[in-house]
Amino acid sequence: MARYCFYCGRELDDYEKCDCRGRSYVAGENVTGEPRSEKAQQSYSARQEHETSSSYQSAWQHREEAPPKKQQHKSPRRDYRRQGVRPARTFASFFSFFIRPADSMARELQPVWDRSHTLWMAASVALSGIHYMMLNRSLASVLQGKTAKLSTGEALLSWLSGSVFVALIMLLYTLTLWLLSRFLYRQAALPFLHALAAGKAAWKFLCFFLILALPSLFTSGAIYGLVLSLMGLVFAVIVHARQLASLTALDENRAWQLSYLSIVLFAGILSSVTAMVQMLNVVR
């Protein structure tokens, strides 16, 4: 049985649907083929523009929601400008070194030599020279039975001799630690300057003991000052050995081995050097 479209009258096949209404709407005509009204045409154009703008907006939103590119992290620039020194912070750092010594020594352990190493080593050597000068005056007073008065030149020479002597002791002990670390504990890549820089904390403690003993040298308690200075020197030696053990990542047993072996070896080297100097004096 033949089928016909209800609107345009076109003959249709079985199960076929006529698209006359859609074609006529797109062409701007009614279903009957007459031109569409101006109002209907404007409504159709507005709807088309809205659909187009919606498609553009959805596309723009999709582009904006795209994941942002990964930014390359740049390392912060170093500020080499000279910063002002705050006295309160300096004193707090100084006192925290003696209140929490373990934390302070771990924080200040650095193998690279800088200005602070030079300052602390120079301060300890200078204070040791003063103690050496006062010790010579005390010994001269005991031998002569009266208070010895040193001239300015003699005092300066005595202080210089003591400073050089203590500096040589520090270098000789550092050499002992360096030799033990290189050949006994197989730290072949350890430079001598790094082993010397590990003694920064030791020099701080030595300055502390020397400053405490300094007032007693100008009074009748010179023996107390002498004993305190010697104990400070021994304590500084142990601290230096422990710091070097931490720098080379030795365990506790090897750290204490390094401490007492360095003292024994240093005493032997120092006695040998003293004996050689005496022999040279006898030969002359």
Helix, strand, coil % over all residues of the chain, rounded to 5:
70, 0, 25
Tokens for 237?
A: 């030696």
Nearest one of 22, 60, 75, 19 to 44, comparing CA atoms: 22
Tokens for 189?
A: 């890549």
For every one of its 284 residues, what pLDDT tens digit does the chain have, with 9 covering 90 and above? Answer: 567 777 777 777 777 778 777 765 555 555 455 555 555 556 556 665 655 555 444 443 434 445 556 555 554 444 434 444 454 555 556 677 778 888 888 888 888 888 989 999 999 999 998 888 887 777 666 555 555 566 778 778 888 988 998 899 999 999 999 999 999 998 888 999 999 999 999 999 999 999 988 887 777 667 787 888 889 989 999 999 999 999 999 999 999 999 999 999 988 888 887 787 777 766 65
pTM over 0.75: no
Domain extent listing, the chain: 3-49, 114-283
Whole-Å CA distances, 59 to 64, 67, 140, 254 = 9, 15, 99, 70
Residue type, 26: V
SS3 151: coil
